Structure 1
């Protein structure tokens, strides 16, 4: 109730009672519309963000990535397996020729060499499988990181069309990066120390008596040259 209404201030000047009309019985003098506008803007933002998230998830769901992960794994495995087999063939051939030059084909050293070749070949194949599994897992992780990054961006104002395009480009970029693993074998040098009859040389050092029946006798004979000569061999 204003002062003019209780007789303290005379007159009917409406300014004495603020801006409330005679139709307004109660409530604030001024009614603002800011909160309604903010609520509408927030609802609109959420709607756009939700549409963007749906577009991102749909793009990833329709990309058929599971089959691509398997294809990528197979490609990396095949590449490294071929490299293992190539190295194994070269090592077997070089070792066989070296053993033949020393007259050891068919002997125990030859058997040991073949066993070592098989062992290293199997290790190489296991390594190839591990590289393939890691490559597929890496591609999957890159896709997950891309998706999570885009979902975060969906809350920052990108619309559904932009989100869909960014998702498509991200998936394509991840696959291109992964293709590098399909181009270069990564198993390394598996048989380098077996070239030139490595196993033969090792076997001769460890089992000298087996391949030189006169060595033991020479070592015991004080008149043998290697036991009586006091100089050095150049």
Structure 2
């Protein structure tokens, strides 16, 4: 057969280099004929060509990974997540504020302290505690968003590294999308499962002290005993 001497050579299997350029070599060239030495190529030329192809595949895979992670919708998702964490924490803070205000009001009334300097001082502390609580709410929301972003970047770096080990672009893109979903669910589970914590501990301590004092006074009255040592 004319030209039979070229059977098995790259210039016969893929004379224009189309298979190699298209990336379809595994399907169109299952025997790896395009990886064999072409006419006029030295072993060093073959090695250089294959390395260029490998680097091109790595670049293509990494570009697919970055495209998934750089999608603008992810930034909006994180922003919405931060807002949701902030809203939930603020609801918790406002609930605590309502409860603490009610307890303080009753405590002051029981102790006959309504309208006095103690009343003014404790209400000022209430306001200070609430403002600190607002800072904690914002810190928690921003922290949750930062942790989610960090998890995304860790996932990106892992896939970028795997690309150098032969991970193909399609698989990398699929794993990138799955990683984003997993990170988001994990972040929600952690952020929504944590309570804000007691933001009005100082007021709670004051109320507890007043309650204990009232209980002691009641016990003294019940025993017909007063602070001057008198009795029934």
Task: Report the TM-score, using the length of structure 2 for normalisation.
Answer: 0.68
Question: Quick one: distance in 1 between partners of 2:41 and 2:112?
Answer: 104
Aligned 8 A contact 1:150 1:167 in 2? yes
Aligned to 1:113: 122
Aligned 8 A contact 2:148 2:184 in 1? yes
Cα 1:56–1:147 shift into 2, 3 Å: same
* Mapping of residues 8-157 of structure 1, within 5 Å: 33-62=42-71, 64-157=73-166
**Structure holding more helix per residue:** 2
Aligned with residue 193 of structure 2, among 178, 181, 184: 184
Aligned to 1:4: none
Shift of the alpha carbon at 1:40?
2.7
Unaligned runs of at least 5 residues, structure 1 = 1-30, 205-223, 227-234
Aligned to 1:164: 173
For CA contacts below 8 A with separation 6 or more, give which structure has more relative contact order: 1
Question: Quick one: distance in 1 between partners of 2:142 and 2:201?
Answer: 26
Shift of the alpha carbon at 1:147?
1.1
Aligned 8 A contact 1:56 1:151 in 2? yes
Q: Kindly report the root-mean-square deviation, in angstroms, between the aligned alpha carbons of the 2 structures.
A: 2.7
Aligned to 1:214: none
Cα 1:128–1:100 shift into 2, 3 Å: same
Q: State the 4+ residue runs in structure 1 displaced beyond 6 angstroms.
A: none
SS at match of 2:114: coil
Q: For residues 198-231 of structure 1, what are the alpha-carbon distances to aligned partners after superposition, in whole Å with 9 as ceiling and x for unaligned?
A: 3985xx9xxxxxxxxxxxxxxxxxxx957xxxxx
Structure whose CA Rg is larger: 1
Question: Quick one: distance in 2 between partners of 1:87 and 1:118?
Answer: 12
